Structure 1
């Protein structure tokens, strides 16, 4: 991906902690799209966000945001172009009102749009005259969300954005983010456990586990390629199916075989060429795909026969 088309570029970024190793991570996040990082707790998603904001220093590697290297001179002007919603509220703010915090934060952003901020508060029914500690978890999340968008950033970093939101507020958040992206040049990088949120918002998906990136995929292509096929054919066995493209798992399923493939289009063509009937197709969810990728990582990419064996 060309530098001019990249909003975020991580090159061999790594960090070692006592019980956790992050990276080395190399990623190119495209400008003008929504990219979601999906992975279990402890994958390193939040640490990556803090590194991008220079709140945590990587031991090795470089990070570029909006064509500017993080950790070098000029970070102040760079951060004015970024909106950040952390995973949880900032410690030590409970006794200040939302309005007090807003008055402090707005001074750091030359592009602050007070009308936009007020519109967002009204949309989410948030009263910023309340003390932050007196707000419910959902109201505090909506306040922080409005604060992150009020200066109309070019790049939006969202760490579990819908945490604590009720279904109506969640729908409103999706609408706001869709409108935010209408400009065409803006970029969102988000971490989320909510599968439906990723399905509705993301153009690209990054899977992470254990501090490593398992892969980055275009969402629609990913969901089309990963499928479960139920197949029948004379003499079909784990050995006979070894040539099927993208084969990840093969297990008996009654009179048929259950096949997990990451190359569904090629696998269907292979089945037709080998007189194997596909009796049923089943799409895979993002959580199922992540689970398969984690299995492959543990087994070195070898196929699971579904009977306790790996080939």
Structure 2
């Protein structure tokens, strides 16, 4: 990870309800990159965003965004951020898109009306339509245009693809890639779409049951995790689990085994050195990697 001051820092952050416990979370999101938070439903992704936005208060720990504590009475910090939620509030459904944009413009000195209009054209959004009359996908495109119009330093996106058709999704990915081109901006995105994470993210945070299971550089993650298939007399699961980089071993019947590695280079060197009978191998997809990590997660005491 980068040694410069992170865009987002959570240090020992905890939050609990009657049915859910988040943390303690220790997480640093590097500046100038796209970091994706992935995990099953109920893992704590949306709660983490609400904590970052000061919509709920942590019971313990500290939070910093762009070097400052999030607070509703910190307008300077708010002007450097933008947030696109998965589900939009219905309190402004009577407004037209143009009226909501005019309200936003009052709060952001760096608002770029030309940029905003360009985004509306690209996303094919009619600013005269009332928000309550918009489809979910159309509303999502409008919210993204509003978020990007003032060129925020930190963009928080909670399931931004929700409701988007394939063409709008493609336009969103292209727009976000261009937004990151100057190298000084940061995106923190929660997404359940594997292809979206593959195309956007530089770093991946895996969460489950309110805990961070790991933070990984994306290319290294996909390079390191691999599945190997072995078959042969004399193989024993206990022996295979001792191999370097071996995350898990599954017996598939008879003397056939599936071996999951989280450090493929070390594992392959060991397999070759021990002359073990590998019959096949394949890279792992992100959902399979998450499943392997979650399977090893220790439950709360």
TM-score, structure 2 as length reference: 0.95
Match of 2:256 in 1: 256
1:229–1:258 Cα contact (<8 Å) kept: yes
Match of 2:236 in 1: 237
Match of 1:220 in 2: 219
1:62–1:70 Cα contact (<8 Å) kept: no
- Quick one: distance in 2 between partners of 1:59 and 1:18? 14
Match of 2:57 in 1: 57
Q: Secondary structure of 1:297's partner?
A: coil
Note the C-alpha offset of 1:3. Answer: 6.5
1:233–1:275 Cα contact (<8 Å) kept: no
1:37 aligns with 2:48: no
1:157 aligns with 2:156: yes
1:195–1:286 Cα contact (<8 Å) kept: yes
Where structure 1 has 5 or more consecutive residues not aligned to the other structure, the ranges are 301-311
Note the C-alpha offset of 1:219. Answer: 0.7
User: Structure 1 runs of 4+ off > 6 angstroms?
Assistant: none
Match of 1:182 in 2: 181
2:249–2:257 Cα contact (<8 Å) kept: no
- Quick one: distance in 2 between partners of 1:268 and 1:96? 60
Range moving further from structure 2, 261-270 or 225-234: 225-234
- Quick one: distance in 2 between partners of 1:272 and 1:29? 38
Q: Secondary structure of 2:164's partner?
A: coil
2:157–2:187 Cα contact (<8 Å) kept: yes
Where structure 2 has 5 or more consecutive residues not aligned to the other structure, the ranges are none
Range moving further from structure 2, 205-214 or 237-246: 237-246
2:241–2:249 Cα contact (<8 Å) kept: no
- Quick one: distance in 2 between partners of 1:155 and 1:226? 30
1:95 aligns with 2:109: no
Match of 2:283 in 1: 283
- Quick one: distance in 2 between partners of 1:37 and 1:55? 19
Match of 1:305 in 2: none
1:78-157 aligned within 5 A: 78-157=77-156
Note the C-alpha offset of 1:2. Answer: 6.5
What is the CA RMSD across the aligned residues, in angstroms?
A: 1.7
- Quick one: distance in 1 between partners of 2:275 and 2:238? 16
Q: How many residues align?
A: 299
2:119–2:145 Cα contact (<8 Å) kept: yes
- Quick one: distance in 1 between partners of 2:299 and 2:148? 43
Note the C-alpha offset of 1:233. Answer: 4.5
Q: 1:169-188 CA deviation, whole Å, 9 max, x = no partner?
A: 00000000110010101100
Q: 1:148-186 CA deviation, whole Å, 9 max, x = no partner?
A: 111000110000011000000000000001100101011
2:235–2:255 Cα contact (<8 Å) kept: no
- Quick one: distance in 2 between partners of 1:254 and 1:82? 57
- Quick one: distance in 2 between partners of 1:140 and 1:72? 25
Q: 1:115-135 CA deviation, whole Å, 9 max, x = no partner?
A: 000000000110011000111
TM-score, structure 1 as length reference: 0.92
1:15 aligns with 2:15: yes
Note the C-alpha offset of 1:80. Answer: 0.4
Note the C-alpha offset of 1:72. Answer: 8.3
